[in-house]
Structure 1
Amino acid sequence: MRLEISCHDRVGLAKDILEVLEQYGINLLAIDASNFGFIYLQFAEIGFETLSELMPQLRKIESVTDVRTASFMPSEQKHYALKTLLKTLPDLVFSIDIKSNVRIVNESALLALELEEEQVIGQPLSSWVNGFSFGRWLTEPESLSQAARVHIGSNEYLAEVLPIYLPDEAKDESEPVLVGAVVSLKSPARVGKQFNALQSQIVGFETVLAVSELMKKVLTTATRMSQLDAPLLITGETGTGKELMAKASHEASLRREKPFIAINCAALPDSIAEESLFGVYQDGEVIKRGLVDEAKGGTIFFDEVAEMCSGAQAKLLRLLQDGSYRRVGGTSEIRADVRIICSTQKNLAELCQEGKFREALYYRINVLSYHIPALRERKQDIIPLTEMFLEHYSQQLSSPTRRLSGPCKELLLNYAWPGNVRQLKNAIFRAVSMHSGGVELTPEQLKLPSYAEGFGYFDNDFEGSLDEAMKQFEASLLRRLYPAYPSTRQLAKKLGVSHTAIANKLRDYRISKKK
């Protein structure tokens, strides 16, 4: 059981909260506090009646503004994200303390050492890694990042040694305290591949136009993440270019020579999810290759992962957890060699809380993530994007490239763009394809539907009364539903009204069964 407490900062607030928990005999398992006005509590499951009493009592505490259940603690998400990231990294990673003893080790390092985690934790890193004195480096007056050639047995690696500093609360915050280091070991082959990738890294993102500082920051983050093999989650509204960024991430990665396969999650029902993803094995041979097999060595992009059915979510979770899969009808486990990138325009955290998305899967896919801002949030990009699309479609349609008129620029900058870049692109294509002379593009030629932020689309040309509009909508709804519910009782049950009322409306609107 987890609770999220919205509050204002106050001395003694945590004490007051703990006293309420004590009144109900609740043993606190964990507590998280953030700088954004939230406190998170984790404790054993309690009954609904106890919870119904507890939450109002917590709301009564001074400085508490709201209390609600939460799907996870922030520390849990960080823990699982770090664990998954370390597991998927191909490099050998160690975290050592001030005495150079290993505190954290990833799976790649354990495989190279041929040891279990309990055999490595707490032991000096120098027991296996030779060629660099970690103990001496940690005792230097100023420990700076280092790169050195080291060995594990007869195997050579490039070691990157990064110091870990924490602020000393007893001193001024400008005097941090060295508490250990993170040591990353790369093989010569891995270093060579990364160097080659960096030489052509711009290729993946050269088609993404970014003039605004907001979008430039997104590109910087995306470029860095393209070199990591961990799962990536891209969020943003519809039409912001999530698939374009996913494709660019693939093209800028070490996997760019291998396939990039995009999957529409809404079109992946339970009945075919396992076959589509993993393939079918029958009578000693593969009769259908799965998408994971087809993308071997490359990237699979799950578009709008929030639309994925529960069965497909379970299959994807197992793939991410185990790193392997089994074909339908097969008995052997196959090691997967793909990178997973997902996108969504929905709030997955809220869907987890509502039970509509698997919490464990959310942790697995949200190891690396970034958000693509809406077009209205980066207005500096609107005119450059428009001019780029104008030039592109003018050349494609053999039409003269026109300028943007002043009123047209004003409309472009002030419009809310609910469809974002996709909507802008389609509007320009329509304007160019319907070109009928003139050297400037005008607002009338864009034919943008009227849209008010927070209210949606509306029709400037509407005529009539509200009652007439309601009748038009009612008639349209009944015409669409009647074929699926072909009796007055079925249709009435669907719409929550009496069958007599439905019969009268069908007669009034002259709606009848098709013969």
Structure 2
Amino acid sequence: MGDWLKFLTADVISQILETAFQWFVVVDREAKIIYINDEYCHFLEVRREEAIGKHVADIIENTEMHLVMEQGIAQIASPHYIKGTYMLANRVPIVVDGEIIGAFGSVIFRDMNDWKKLSSHVRKTMDQIETNMNQYRESFYNFADIRGISQTIRKIKETIATIAPTKLPVLIEGEIGTGKEMFAQSIHGLSDRAENYFVKVNCSAIPKDLLEEEIFGKWEGDRDIKKGRIQRAEGGTLFIEEVHELPITLQAKLLKALQDQKIQPLGTEEEISVDVRYILSTNISLAEMVKSKHFREDLFYKIQAITLQIPPLRNRIEDLPELIQTFLSKYSIEAGRRGIKIDRKAWWCLQHYDWPGNVRELQNVLQAIIHLADGNQITIDVLPPHIRRQKTLSRSNGTLEEMLFQIEGRILQEHLENEKDKMKIAKKLGISRSTLYEKIKKHNL
């Protein structure tokens, strides 16, 4: 045993900590960092010398290392939401002579998907969850599926991360095709209800005379013959799409369900307690419907406290390059046509079209042109005529930053079409060649 202790010198221990799969951090009794390995620093985008001596909460978002210090209780395999994803972390107090002198933390799974793959027990559980969810939807989105660099999208993601763990109802407003269901599923996926059902009901897709039975269920005598969507969502989340289509009489029942967590199925006077989180969506202004007496004011005020306004694609045009690349990669693989690229003229048309059908229209167009492409190059010829024929940029809405981004892209496009020599283009524009290349990459030109 003594020989092994001699082997474990400070240098050897440092090598082990630096090359191990896990990320490590050690804090003192004041929760200030005294050690953190390079891999963790790289992920956190901070230099080690900057991290050492800082309070751990100033370096690692959502950390609970200081709580471990205060409570003296270890946290094993604890979910840790950091930089847009959940990880699993261990946090253990360091005790010497009965006194807590610090704490040790490690990230044991950097992605929850790793946990799913490596643990057979968890894998079976997750497979069962996925089977349950498949009863109610064809696909499921998560937080990482929300793409975009615009300030609006970044703010929405911050809001979702904040409100997801709560039980508060959420109203999602946005035009048709903006992806409201994706945002709703992202909220569910980040909540502690993620292992339970995400159930949806579209008020515009079900005949009005069947909506009450579909949502609240139906009894015959003293026998429950049909569970409504609310009961099916027990312990999970109910997503009510196009809530503005819900009749006034049912709006009153929904308000009671939201306030009292109780429902009354058709055919009985009995009330049933339920535990459900409600997310609602609409493609029109509920505030205007309240004014016109087509939507209950009390229900509106109950659900509007947390409202996500999903912008139309034309108002976040700087998100287009990432969206196009994401969908292009996905649909190319599905079509068995890897390596497909979009040429410069086609890119210009796609980026300067208004997309009245929003993200859904973009997805449909990309799916089609991948199949129409000749070889591995998508040219302007395969674009739909209404997108191909546009000549000028007429969009004048959006923020100043968004409009300047569009104009910059158009200017670069025009110069690249008329001149091949990048040095000459940079000189004409009064910028360095490296700056020109950065802008070309930013606009995917």
Q: Please, what TM-score do these two structures have when normalized by structure 2?
A: 0.55
Q: Is 1:355 aligned to residue 280 of structure 2?
A: no
**Residue by residue, what CA displacement relative to the aligned partner does 1:337-395 show, whole Å, maximum 9, x if unpaired?**
11110111211111110112111111111121121111122122101111111111111
Q: 2:79 aligns with which of 184, 196, 206?
A: 196
Corresponding position of 2:175: 237
Counterpart of 1:325 in structure 2: which amino acid? I
1:243-292: CA deviations, max 9, x gaps?
A: 00101110110100110011111134442222112212223321111111
Displacement of 1:417 after TM fit?
0.7
Write out aligned runs for 1:355-374 (5 A): 355-374=293-312
Task: Give the AA of the match of 2:327.
Answer: F
Over 3 Å counting, the alpha-carbon distance change for 1:257 and 1:193 in structure 2 is farther
Number of the residue aligned with 1:253: 191
Aligned mates of 2:250, 2:386 — CA distance in 1: 37
Instruction: Please give the residue correspondences for 1:199-238 in structure 2 after superposition, counting only pairs within 5 Å.
Output: 201=86, 204-238=142-176
Q: Which amino acid aligns with 1:449?
A: H
CA apart distance, 1:197: 6.7
Measured against aligned partners, the alpha-carbon deviations of 1:489-513 in whole angstroms (never above 9, x if no partner) come to xxxxxxxxxxxxxxxxxxxxxxxxx
- Report the counterpart of residue 279 of structure 2 in structure 1: 341
Matched, 1:381 2:319: yes
Q: Which residue, out of 363, 376, 380, partners 1:443?
A: 380
Match of 2:361 in 1: 423
* Alignment-derived partner of residue 30 in structure 1: none
Give percent identity, aligned residues only. Answer: 33
Separation (CA, whole Å) in 1 of partners of 2:246 and 2:300: 12
Structure 1 residue aligned with 2:220: 282
Map residues 136-151 of structure 1 onto 2, 5 A cutoff. none
Q: Secondary structure at the match of 1:343?
A: strand
3-state SS of paired residue (1:249): helix
In structure 1, C-alpha distance between the alignment counterparts of 2:383 and 2:283, rounded to whole Å: 26
Q: 2: distance between equivalents of 1:436 and 1:338? A: 50
Indicate conservation of the 8 Å contact 1:277/1:290, yes or no: yes
Structure-1 separation of matches of 2:217 and 2:258: 17
The match for 2:209 is 271
Q: Within 2, Cα distance between the matches of 1:433 and 1:425?
A: 13
Take 1:398 and 1:307, find their aligned partners in 2: how far apart are those partners? Answer: 41
What is the Cα deviation at residue 219 of structure 1?
0.9
Higher helix share: 2
In structure 1, C-alpha distance between the alignment counterparts of 2:161 and 2:310, rounded to whole Å? 13
Paired letter, 1:292: I
Distance in 1 between residues matched to 2:161 and 2:343, nearest whole Å: 35
The structural deviation recorded for 1:444 is 2.7
The runs of at least 4 aligned residues of structure 1 exceeding 6 Å deviation read 451-454
User: Quick one: distance in 2 between partners of 1:328 and 1:414?
Assistant: 52
Seen in structure 2, the aligned counterparts of structure 1 residues 194 and 299 have a Cα distance that, compared at 3 Å, is farther
Runs (5+) with no aligned partner, structure 2: 1-65, 88-111, 113-141, 397-445
| Contact 2:261/2:276, CA 8 A, preserved across alignment | no
Deviations 1:447-500 (A, max 9, x none): 15358879xxxxxxxxxxxxxxxxxxxxxxxxxxxxxxxxxxxxxxxxxxxxxx
Question: Which residues of structure 1 form unaligned runs of 5+?
Answer: 1-146, 150-157, 159-187, 455-515
Residue identity matched to 2:210:
I
Aligned to 2:235: 297
Distance 1:207 1:358, change over 3 A: same
CA RMSD of aligned residues (A): 2.8
The TM-score normalised by the length of structure 1 is 0.48
Give the AA of the match of 2:308: Y
CA distance 1:289–1:197, change in 2 (3 Å) = farther
Structure number with larger C-alpha Rg: 1
The secondary structure found in structure 1 opposite 2:281 is strand
